[in-house]
Amino acid sequence: MFLSLLTISISLFTAGVHYSTAHLGALHTQEINGAAQNIFGRPNDPEVRQGRASRTASQAIDEVEDALAKANSARNATPPRYRDAELTYGFTARLNPRDPRPLMGLANILYDQKQFAAAAKFYQEALTMVTSMASFGGATLRGELNPGEQRSMASELRVYFGISLLETNDFKNAQAQFERAIKSEPTNARWHALFGYSLLKQGVKPDAVKALQEAVRLDPGNSDYQQLLQSAQR
In a domain, 87, yes or no: yes
In a domain, 209, yes or no: no
CATH code of 79's domain: 1.25.40.10
In a domain, 76, yes or no: yes
In a domain, 142, yes or no: yes
Range(s) of the domain holding residue 47: 43-147
CA 62, 68, 71, 72 torsion: positive or negative? negative
Q: Of 55 and 64, which is predicted with more confidence?
A: 64
In a domain, 23, yes or no: no
Cα–Cα distance measured from residue 80 to residue 110, given in angstroms and rounded to the nearest whole number = 12
Judge if pTM exceeds 0.85.
no
The total number of structural domains that make up the chain: 1
- Mean pLDDT (whole number) for 162-183: 97
In a domain, 214, yes or no: no
Is residue 221 helix, strand or coil? coil
Confidence of residue 9 (pLDDT cuts 50, 70, 90): low
